[in-house]
């Protein structure tokens, strides 16, 4: 069964360093997402991406964050200068071609996450 994969599973970095989190979405999916979950808190939407551009982004997704689909398979999240408060689990998700209507639902499939620890 196709699945979303993420690497690395755990990333430790020093404050101020740049990190790139990598995701391989399901191959025929068109919509890509990043969410994060700070320990003990809710899963929060960061950004959605379609047709090589950002569709929506949350207030969390500031200038320190960027996303890219560098080739036909990878989807990356870059944090330019990490802060302590960026420590969280980062989930990538992807969904297919369908339109979100009550007669057809376009499920988001989540990867296993990358745990980012900023020291």
Contact residues for another protein (CB under 8 A)?
4, 30-31, 33, 35, 41-45, 48-50, 55-56, 58, 91, 93, 95, 97-102, 105-113
Residue whose CB is less far from another protein, 18 or 56? 56
Q: In what order do the strands lie in the sheet with 19-24?
A: 5-7, 19-24, 75-79, 65-68
Min dist CB 29 to another protein, Å, is 10
Residue whose CB is less far from another protein, 66 or 106? 106
**29 token code pair:** 């999916």
Q: Specify whether the backbone of 102 is left (phi greater than 0), alpha (psi in -120 to 50) or beta.
A: alpha
CB 17 within 8 A of CB 82: yes
SS3 for 117?
strand
Min dist CB 61 to another protein, Å, is 11
Residue whose CB is less far from another protein, 19 or 111? 111
C-beta neighbour count of 100 within 10 angstroms: 9
Residue whose CB is less far from another protein, 14 or 62? 62
Min dist CB 81 to another protein, Å, is 25
């Amino acid at each position: 069964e196709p699945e979303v994969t993420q690497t690395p599973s755990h990333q430790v970095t020093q404050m101020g360093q740049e990190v790139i989190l990598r995701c391989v979405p399901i191959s025929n999916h068109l919509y890509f997402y990043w969410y994060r979950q700070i320990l003990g808190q809710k899963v929060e939407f960061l950004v959605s991406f379609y047709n090589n551009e950002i569709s929506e982004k949350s207030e969390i997704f500031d200038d320190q964050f960027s996303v890219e689909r560098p080739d036909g398979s990878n989807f990356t999240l870059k944090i330019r200068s990490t802060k302590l408060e960026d420590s969280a689990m980062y989930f990538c998700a992807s969904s297919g071609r369908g339109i979100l209507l009550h007669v057809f639902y376009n499920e988001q499939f989540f990867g296993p996450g990358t745990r980012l620890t900023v020291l």
